[in-house]
Every structure is written in C-alpha cells, then in structure tokens.
Structure 1
Amino acid sequence: MNKDSERIKSVVSENRVKLHLFEPSQRKIWTVVGKSKEHWLDPDAEYCSCNGYYFGRLNEKTTCYHLESVYLAQRENKIEKIIFSDDEYSVFLSGLISDL
C-alpha cells in the first residue's frame, strides 16, 4: 500500500470528509479536514483547493488524495453531513475564502 492509499483510508476512517448542505436550496460545499487545514473540493468538477492538486495538475497528475478520499467516502457512505440554513451560506463561504 502506498502513502496516498494510507492517507485516503485514514481520512475516510476518521470521518474527515464533510458535506456541508444548505437548506432549502440544497447547495453543497465539500471539505476534507487535513492535519493543518481544511480543503474545499468540488468532486463533480474534480477540483481541490490544496497545493498538491494545483502542482499535480501542472505535472499532469490526475488528482490529489483529498479528492480520492471524497470518492471513497461516497462509495462507502462514510460522509459526515452537516446541515446549515441558506442564511448561513455567505458567512460560511466567507470563512472558507479567508482561510485560503
């Protein structure tokens, strides 16, 4: 098993894949909680906010372990879903952006 496989299994088993669901609009923000920061993702667009994704794409790598963690969590139904009101969306998004 390689290092990324171990990381992916660790992220999923520790419930660090989060789906922030805003109601009633059903807007979704995915995050993966890392050791030092939280990364936001769009699994449908195959995007992650981490440096590994960015530099990996420059080197023609297809993805990062955060995205792979989301895909595994979806397959195994090990996603922590957190429900918010649509009124909280802009504040939540502002917080994510300020962390970048």
Structure 2
Amino acid sequence: MKHDSGNVDLVVSSNGVKLHRFCPSNREIWTVVGKENEHWLDLGLEYCSCEDYYYNAMEKGKQCYHMKAVQAAKEQNKVEIVQFDDSEFPSFMSALVQDLV
C-alpha cells in the first residue's frame, strides 16, 4: 500500500490530475498523468482506463492509484481545470482513444 501512496503523492504534487471541462454543456473528462501514460476516468462509474483497473477493481474490489489520486487532488484542491469549447469534444475524445490503442 505504501507504493500506491507514493504514486498518489507524486501525481498530486506534479499537478497530474486534470479536469477537462467542455462548455457550454459542462461535460467533464477526468485524466491522470501516471508514471508512463495518461489515463481517463469516469468518477460516476468508478472506472479508470489503466490496466490495473481490471485487476484491482474487478478482482479485488480496490481502487487503482489513479482514482485515489483524483480523490486526493480534490481534497487538496490541486485539480488542474482545463476549459474547452464543446466543438472540441469529438477531437479530444478521438485523441484520448488513440492514446489507449
């Protein structure tokens, strides 16, 4: 668990938790810049796009460190908010999906 704590602290202290807000719809996409990649999260579904999500959440009932980092960043008010126009949503999502492939 100490390993997770270190990762969470590093992500939060390096401003790795980002909230991408699209206006005027107010759609939100959360991303966390991890050790090697950027992962997207759906907080309502408690889903993360990282590989550990399936192992931790699905099999063990635990959260990955990306989810923990979002919670910690929200508590510490260290979320970087990035504003976009709704017209940018399709290209943003396309780029996000391409990063996963």
Normalised-by-shorter TM-score class: over 0.9
Q: Does the 8 A contact of 1:43 with 1:71 survive in 2?
A: no
Q: Which runs of 5+ in 2 are unaligned?
A: none
TM-score by length of 1: 0.94
Runs of 4+ in structure 1 off by over 2 angstroms are none
Counterpart of 2:15 in structure 1 is 15
Counterpart of 1:63 in structure 2 is 63
Q: What CA deviation, in whole Å up to 9, does each residue of 1:49-94 have, x standing for no partner? A: 0001112234223210000000011111100000000000000001
**How far off is 1:35 after superposition?**
2.5
Is 1:93 aligned to residue 93 of structure 2? yes
Root-mean-square deviation over aligned CA pairs:
1.2
TM-score by length of 2: 0.93
Residues in 2 aligned to 1:38 and 1:83: alpha-carbon distance in whole angstroms? 18
Q: Which runs of 5+ in 1 are unaligned?
A: none
Identity rate, percent: 50
Q: What CA deviation, in whole Å up to 9, does each residue of 1:14-67 have, x standing for no partner? A: 100000000000000000012321000012221100001112234223210000
Residues in 2 aligned to 1:65 and 1:36: alpha-carbon distance in whole angstroms? 13
